[in-house]
Amino acid sequence: MRVIIIGRGKMGTLLKDSASAHGHEVIAMADAANQDEVKPLECDAVIDFSHPDNLGWVCDYVQTHGCIYICGTTGLNEEQKQLLRRTARSCPVFYSANFSYGIAMLEKVLEQVTPLLKEDFDMEVVETHHDQKQDAPSGTAVMLVEAMDPDHAFKRVYGREGFVGKRGKEIGIHSIRGGTVAGEHTVLYLGQDESLKITHTASSRMIFVNGAWKALAFMAKRPNGYYTMKDLTGEEQ
């Protein structure tokens, strides 16, 4: 496929360098600065690991050209998430905050384990990323908490400081930034005299790159609509 990559950072560069190995041709790399040069170009797919500020013009582009949109941009607000879903009426859209197969499996595990533990165990999520990551908590952490508590029965508490009082019905979410950590997410279930810790560690951004190419292969045969890792992993089982 002829692909346009949105974002010139490390993920964009890795995608560009690995495209030919997956049978694709990158015809342009784009961001807000050169969007006018890209808009006339025709392509089969857009892969976007950039900044939420790019979402508006990228959605306009993919709707105009009717191409596949693979979006891995995190830090989207609710309005932007709704824009993605509206865009999916006009073209095939695949969105995930994390393109790791392991994270997709972790999400499924949490959906099954949490209902069994939530009444007797306190729950916390800790995410660690490199010092260049701009959003916190990570989109993956938000996704995992949503898997644990889809009905929002527990209050989300983002870090703690000062005299916060006795713990209530809450899920603590904590962000650590430093070094070159590609990504680590730990979910803790803390009970009386016992605890359960589940950790996923990404050793390299290549797991996200390979996941994006796998998502593109999946989307090649899909009609207009909104797709996620659940659709991809469901097909593979």
pTM of the model: 0.81
Q: According to the model, what pLDDT value does residue 237 have?
A: 43
Same-domain status, 23 and 81: yes
108 is catalytic: no
How many CB atoms lie under 10 A from the CB of residue 54? 19
Same-domain status, 106 and 187: yes
- Confidence band for 75, pLDDT divided at 50, 70 and 90: confident
Same-domain status, 197 and 116: yes
Copy the structure tokens of residue 167: 């713990």
| CATH number of the CATH domain containing 183 | 3.30.360.10
Percent of the chain having pLDDT more than 90? 85
Closest CA to 202 of 97, 77, 50: 97
Domain that holds residue 50: 2-95+206-236
Q: How many domains does the chain have?
A: 2
pLDDT per residue as tens digits for the range 222-234? 999 999 998 998 8
Does residue 203 have a pLDDT over 80?
yes
Copy the structure tokens of residue 105: 């499996």
Q: Among residues 16, 129, 174, 200, which one is catalytic?
A: 129
133 is catalytic: yes
| CATH number of the CATH domain containing 43 | 3.40.50.720
Helix count and strand count (H, E) for the chain:
8, 11
Q: Is the peptide bond before 137 cis (omega within 30 degrees of 0)?
A: yes
Q: Among residues 10, 22, 51, 133, which one is catalytic?
A: 133
